[in-house]
Amino acid sequence: MSSTNYENLVGAVKVKLLAKRLGFKRIFKMANKKEFDKINILTKNDNDIRILIKDIEFEQNEIGKNLDSKLNDLLWLNEQLVRFGEQSQVSKNKALKILQTKVFINIYDLNGGRYEKRTTKQLLIKDMNKNCDRIFPLAVAKKHFTLKCYLRKRKYPVTIKLKKTEIPCDYKI
């Protein structure tokens, strides 16, 4: 399965939800959390939306399986490290560690072979906050051991809080 199938399904859900004047982000976050009862209530049991969301869930599982098998292959890992300008490694664990700490790319982009989408950690977090469909579901990532290296503890959305004393005097709060 490819990321393009996933992207096509996401686009179809966006169109359906827009036609019903429902918020895509809200529904999609519920889908990633597997809150299907709430989705059915909000969409008034729309069968087309339900089928599309089930298809998205299936695609996410397939992407997880596909990437899990790739991340277990040392040869593939070393090819990716070289592609990203890092040195190849002698063990799978070392290669995964470098991929986790030095290469910041979305799971969907890595699976789809869109290596030009490599970015910084901050830009990746911004992209994921802006586009909730690019967040890989936690439950699927936990099923596949090698995908756990991409799991990070973070709050949605990432915000920076300043203390009142850090703000210069000429700014009003």
Tell me the C-alpha to C-alpha distance, in Å, between residue 50 and each of 58, 60, 62.
12, 15, 19
pLDDT tens-digit readout, 143-172 = 887 887 666 554 444 343 444 444 444 444
b (16+ CB within 10 A) / e for 114-146? eeeebbeeeebbeebbeebbbbbbeebbeebeb
Question: Distance of alpha carbon 46 from its chain centroid, rounded?
Answer: 26
pLDDT tens-digit readout, 51-88 = 999 999 999 999 999 999 999 999 999 999 999 889 99
According to the model, what pLDDT value does residue 166 have? 44
More confident residue, 161 or 43: 43
Neighbours of 52 (CB within 10 A): 21
DSSP assigned state of 21? T
pTM beyond 0.85: the answer is: no
Task: Name the token pair of 109.
Answer: 């982009």
